[in-house]
Chain A
Amino acid sequence: MKNILFSASIFSVLVLASCTKNITIPQPAYDEKPSIQCLLEPGTVPFLYLDRSVAFLTGPHLPEDLFIRDALVEITDGDVTDHLQADSLFDRESCQFKYYYKGSELTKSDKTYQLSITLNGQTYTASTTTDVVAAQVDSVSYTAAFNDIYGEHEGVIVYFHDQPGRADFYRFVMNTQVDTTGKHSGVKLHDFNTCLGTDTIQVVELGRSVYNDQNLDGQQIQIIIEPAYSHTLGLEVTVGIESLDAVSADFLDQIDRQKLAQLNPFVEPVFLKDGQFGKAAIGFFGNRVRSQFLPFVFPE
């Protein structure tokens, strides 16, 4: 009997002690394609990110290896054509270089812009009209605990008025400061970001969800956002709302939902649909406008 009990214990432990190991999965065949991301903003020069998508398991992962340098990128409003040039900037927030194409002509409101990218003999085109209207932010407050599809979290609450008579899409924007003592998404920054010194840097936080004004046309809208970076009592920030055109909103909504599915294993996977570039390229060419920013002081 003793032997049986001993064996039973061993068995139970064996059954429950599942093992995990890294495995090699053959990379499915994958045709790389350009990834084009550009949000025009009236009053600023165009920035366009042009990378290549790569094989999921075997492709390179450094930004410089993904960036497509030798493309001819043009944006025109019919009168003026802006030839965008490849450029880069070291980004301390992500601790790596960012590569992009930068224009020299300021974007104007209420214009239709044509994008043309010529790459390896193939041309990718799209257009956008800069008619997005800024929201009017009314006030900002804070809640220590809030429940939504992401679970329970603290939240910065923004109240703003929707522009009546049109379909609008909104995202949260916050100008804040970060130093090495902080955390990003609950993880200490100094654990993975060696670029931050003891000083602070300014960062622009973008919300992870895109909201629309469906059934709220012209009304006051409230959105509650989980800040990406930790904060201290009395930290002063400014909070605003970014209005997006429908095409950009649709793409950003897809990636938001996909990321939620990547992180939460109980959410069904989200496939990226064909957008403005069809099957030839991933991404979007759209525009945005930001509201006025209100100051806000974290109460804890």
Chain B
Amino acid sequence: MLKRTAIPMAVLCLAATFAQAQNKVTLSGYIKDAASQEALIGATIFQTNSQLGTTTNEYGFYTLTLPVADTFGLVISYIGYQAQAKKVATKTNLRLDILLEPDGLELAQVEVVASRNNDNVQRAQMGVVDVPMRAINTLPVLGGERDILKVIQLLPGVQGGQEGTTGFYVRGGNLDQNLVQLDEATVYNPNHLFGLFSTFNVNALNNVTLIKGGFPAEYGGRLSSILDITMKEGNREKYQVEGGLGLLSANLTVQGPLVKNKSSFIISARRSYADLLLKPFVPKSKNGTTYYLYDLNAKVNYDLGKNDKLFLSFFNGKDDARYTGANSLNYGINFGNATGTLRWNHLIGNRLFTNTSLVFNDYHLALSTTQGKYYALLFTAITDVTAKSDLTFIPNPKHQIKLGAAYTHHKLYPGGVSAKIPKKGNRLTIDRKSIQQQPSDEAAVYLSDEWKASDNFSISGGLRAPYFTRGTRNYIKIEPRLTAKLSIDPTTSMKASWTVMNQFLHLISNSTASLPTDIWLSSSNLVKPQRSEQYALGLFKNFNDNAIEASIEGYYKTMHHQVLFKEGAQILLNSNIEDLLTFGSGKSYGVEFFVKKNFGKLAGWASYTLSKTTQTFPELNFGKPFPFTYDRRHSVSVAGSYEFSKHWTFAADFVFNTGAAFTLPTGRVPVYEDGSLYNGIYYDLSGRNNARLRNYHRLDVSFIYKKQRHLFGKAYDSEWVFGAYNVYSRSNAYFVYLTTDRYTGVPSAKQLSLLSVIPSVSYNFKF
């Protein structure tokens, strides 16, 4: 019955909106960087007298339908670019491509007050943060390596994981509940160097958006966040070379036109040289310490015509490390991601934008680690092939309709083993060939409309229907998405959202090991899809002509069919991992305060999150709720930069988090009839995650010196970055482990701290 009425209703709705558009004119086109013709994602265009406007999509495309008039006064703006005022005279639909000039100095904004973007207040979207590329380029990070994930950890509602790592946890969700996409391809492990910095080379990136609530219907497959990263397309105007040399790695990016104004390319590569530098200091034995990483990004685009564009992008990153040192931290790790995306943008008329993509990605992680007399091997791999098509229809400024479909074939290879180190003979080995493959299929269709019902009220509603099948087990789900916005005045609005999400792939984490002994599994008969329901309410307010954005968002999220290992679970070579799992639920709620200053010499943000996340598993913790490992009651971050002069910029960030939860035995009991191999001391564990590590805090600073120099008569931009990570050398806990003195039976706790103060210097150039 529902189906019978829904389809005619949708057709009627579309017909009505289309009919409504007949006395109007549609302006559409791309907004690009004038210097490079790089697409500007999220640029704003609006008519000055009606205040009707829109923003460009992830390909830099916009379409704006306005009531017929003799001329249209338009303002086009984008952070870091000179705002442009334009008068356009047309009575018919017009293709209008716009080029924006970058500011000579990013901070010296042209003060076109009206041009400042107030999308954060006026759009029916919440929980969406466009990560400023300026912050990524200036904020101090470990070893002088610019890093998007470290910046994301500073945003409200986002918390970091262990000391120094780039893992991020959004609104009480686990690591696997973040969908990290690079040009639509899933990156399952976006880390380098044991997670100390991310796998994304910022020189190759155009745009980074984090969505943590109020998810649009086009996104799915994860419960907690979407990190959508778009690579640059490549400079269409001229060849450009930029690079950098840091303490950890060197990088080089080359971009330029292939066919003038028709096609361009970008290739960006990065490689560490710790392995080369450390060679003289470490033994030559195969167990010595060594490390290397690399990543390679490449993208080509080609205009097939005015209405068709092709993009081919590729990414490959790999880490290979072996470390033999402290007893508690001996390991070898080899992991890598490879992705490839072929995309076709097609315009149908001037209001219908389509994107069709074919995506491939492959991820593997092989970990061998030794702690004390025990070792563990883990191998997990995922290969995905995805085909998807998305359609955006903007019949008039009041509606933005999106629909699409996607299909993915997954192949997962989960395996692991842990055992005592043999006194003689070889350890067990494990690889992709020795693990039984888990094939599965995932598909989804969606439909959404962002409807501006009146000047003050907008609503964004959508429905996504994912389908998942593995073997004989099928799951069909319905995910409603709803966000409503009520404007109180032009700079103030209230928003509310309700979203339902499902997740069919699961990362199962060991709760005690200090390294990422995590395994990906797909849903099955036993492992049900994770499901979350999130309610959010927010107040958004801009000050000082939108120069300062402020918000307060509260959220309440429930998570079902969460997965953890059972008590005593030990992965053996031939064990069925699903038999080791136990299932429960989670709950997270909190309030996030955020204030951001986008313009001026001083720019940055401050955020405070007060939150609580608990999990309840009938088979764990006596069935009672316990804190999620990454539950942080208080989380504070302050990040900013100040431009002293044309040459010097100072940037700093400070982070404070409540310590992570861990399981500490509360009592100790002697047992006399136990096995003779053991010491007769046992734990009385009264609660899972019943204790906290020390509070985490850290201050990082950097000074950036920019100057234009000349080489062989040719000008180039140079940049020295001097920084220090963890300036006051806070000994933050990487993890805590317990030992019992063999002779006295006295237990003690030891903390491993990974990173003290670490100075850095790096040099960047751009021709």
Alpha-carbon gap, A261 to B674, bound state (A):
15
Q: Which of B273, B371, B419, B683 sits near A149, CB closer than 8 Å? A: B419
Does residue B155 face the partner (Cβ distance < 8 Å to A)?
no
Alpha-carbon gap, A208 to B673, bound state (A):
10
Are the C-beta atoms of A256 and B622 separated by less than 8 Å? Answer: no
Given contacts A53-B667, A263-B372, contact A19 B674 (CB under 8 A): no
Stretch at the interface among B65-73, B351-359, B524-532, B734-742: B734-742
Are the C-beta atoms of B750 and A25 separated by less than 8 Å? Answer: no
CB distance from A69 to the nearest CB of B (A): 15
- Identify which of residues 534-558 in chain B touch chain A, using a CB-to-CB cut-off of 8 Å: none
Given contacts A8-B248, A263-B372, contact A20 B745 (CB under 8 A): no
Question: Which 9 residue pairs are nearest across A and B when measured between Cβ atoms?
Answer: A151-B420, A208-B675, A152-B422, A151-B419, A266-B418, A228-B676, A266-B376, A53-B669, A257-B568
Are the C-beta atoms of B675 and A4 separated by less than 8 Å? Answer: no
CB distance from B627 to the nearest CB of A (A): 13
| Residue among B328, B567, B686 with most chain A CB within 10 A | B567
* Residues of A with C-beta under 8 A to B245: 4
Are the C-beta atoms of A268 and B674 separated by less than 8 Å? Answer: no
Are the C-beta atoms of A266 and B571 separated by less than 8 Å? Answer: yes
Majority secondary structure, A binding face? mixed
* Residues of B with C-beta under 8 A to A13: 278, 281
* Residues of A with C-beta under 8 A to B328: 20
* Residues of B with C-beta under 8 A to A59: 667-668
Stretch at the interface among A32-40, A125-133, A161-169, A291-299: A32-40
Given contacts A264-B420, A268-B567, A268-B569, contact A205 B676 (CB under 8 A): yes
Stretch at the interface among A75-83, A104-112, A231-239, A269-277: A269-277
Majority secondary structure, B binding face? loop
CB distance from B396 to the nearest CB of A (A): 56
* Residues of B with C-beta under 8 A to A261: 512, 567-568
* Residues of A with C-beta under 8 A to B492: none
CB distance from B256 to the nearest CB of A (A): 27
Alpha-carbon gap, A189 to B568, bound state (A):
30
CB distance from A294 to the nearest CB of B (A): 19
Alpha-carbon gap, A100 to B670, bound state (A):
12
> Quick one: CB contact mask for A9-31 with B, threshold 8 Å, 1 for yes?
10111111111111111011110
- Identify which of residues 240-278 in chain B touch chain A, using a CB-to-CB cut-off of 8 Å: 245-248, 273-274, 277-278
Which residue of chain A is the closest to B369 with respect to CB atoms? A266
Are the C-beta atoms of A267 and B569 separated by less than 8 Å? Answer: yes
Does residue B18 face the partner (Cβ distance < 8 Å to A)?
no
Does residue B475 face the partner (Cβ distance < 8 Å to A)?
no
CB distance from A257 to the nearest CB of B (A): 4
* Residues of A with C-beta under 8 A to B96: none
Are the C-beta atoms of A150 and B419 separated by less than 8 Å? Answer: yes
Chain B interface residue number, banded: 35 or more
Task: Add 10 more A-B contacts to A11-B247, A21-B731, A258-B568 (CB < 8 A).
Answer: A4-B245, A13-B278, A18-B325, A23-B751, A25-B691, A28-B666, A258-B682, A265-B513, A268-B512, A270-B685
Does residue B122 face the partner (Cβ distance < 8 Å to A)?
no
CB distance from B752 to the nearest CB of A (A): 5
Does residue A226 face the partner (Cβ distance < 8 Å to B)?
yes
Alpha-carbon gap, A264 to B753, bound state (A):
21
| Residue among A53, A185, A266 with most chain B CB within 10 A | A266
- Identify which of residues 149-184 in chain A touch chain B, using a CB-to-CB cut-off of 8 Å: 149-153
* Residues of A with C-beta under 8 A to B567: 257, 261, 268-271
Are the C-beta atoms of A19 and B753 separated by less than 8 Å? Answer: yes
* Residues of B with C-beta under 8 A to A272: 669, 682-685
Alpha-carbon gap, A131 to B734, bound state (A):
52
Does residue B4 face the partner (Cβ distance < 8 Å to A)?
no
CB distance from A277 to the nearest CB of B (A): 13
Are the C-beta atoms of A11 and B685 separated by less than 8 Å? Answer: no
Are the C-beta atoms of A263 and B374 separated by less than 8 Å? Answer: yes
Stretch at the interface among B206-214, B480-488, B591-599, B755-763: B755-763
* Residues of A with C-beta under 8 A to B670: 35, 49, 51, 63, 66
Are the C-beta atoms of A54 and B676 separated by less than 8 Å? Answer: no
Alpha-carbon gap, A187 to B428, bound state (A):
24
Does residue A202 face the partner (Cβ distance < 8 Å to B)?
no
Are the C-beta atoms of B667 and A271 separated by less than 8 Å? Answer: no
Q: Which of B329, B569, B622, B668 sits near A55, CB closer than 8 Å? A: B668
Which residue of chain B is the closest to A288 with respect to CB atoms? B673
Given contacts A11-B760, A149-B572, A268-B565, contact A5 B277 (CB under 8 A): yes
* Residues of B with C-beta under 8 A to A7: 247, 759-761
Does residue B671 face the partner (Cβ distance < 8 Å to A)?
yes
Which residue of chain A is the closest to B743 with respect to CB atoms? A192
Alpha-carbon gap, A252 to B675, bound state (A):
9
| Residue among B325, B571, B669, B752 with most chain A CB within 10 A | B669
* Residues of A with C-beta under 8 A to B570: 149, 260, 264, 266-268
Does residue A85 face the partner (Cβ distance < 8 Å to B)?
no
CB distance from A291 to the nearest CB of B (A): 17
* Residues of B with C-beta under 8 A to A258: 568, 682-683
CB distance from B658 to the nearest CB of A (A): 15
> Quick one: CB contact mask for B414-428 with A, threshold 8 Å, 1 for yes?
000011111111001
Are the C-beta atoms of A9 and B277 separated by less than 8 Å? Answer: yes
Are the C-beta atoms of A265 and B686 separated by less than 8 Å? Answer: no
Are the C-beta atoms of B691 and A265 separated by less than 8 Å? Answer: no
Q: Which of A5, A21, A229 sits near B753, CB closer than 8 Å? A: A21
Alpha-carbon gap, A8 to B289, bound state (A):
16
* Residues of B with C-beta under 8 A to A33: 667
Given contacts A19-B752, A206-B676, contact A53 B371 (CB under 8 A): no
Are the C-beta atoms of B374 and A54 separated by less than 8 Å? Answer: no
* Residues of B with C-beta under 8 A to A57: 747-749
Does residue B672 face the partner (Cβ distance < 8 Å to A)?
yes
Are the C-beta atoms of A268 and B731 separated by less than 8 Å? Answer: no
CB distance from A100 to the nearest CB of B (A): 8
Does residue B514 face the partner (Cβ distance < 8 Å to A)?
yes
Alpha-carbon gap, A260 to B678, bound state (A):
10
Are the C-beta atoms of B371 and A265 separated by less than 8 Å? Answer: yes
Q: Which of A16, A209, A260 sits near B289, CB closer than 8 Å? A: A16
Does residue B744 face the partner (Cβ distance < 8 Å to A)?
yes
24 contacts between A and B (CB under 8 A): A7-B247, A8-B248, A8-B274, A9-B277, A20-B750, A28-B686, A30-B686, A35-B669, A35-B670, A37-B672, A54-B668, A56-B664, A57-B748, A63-B670, A149-B570, A151-B422, A186-B373, A207-B675, A208-B675, A228-B676, A258-B568, A260-B568, A272-B669, A272-B682
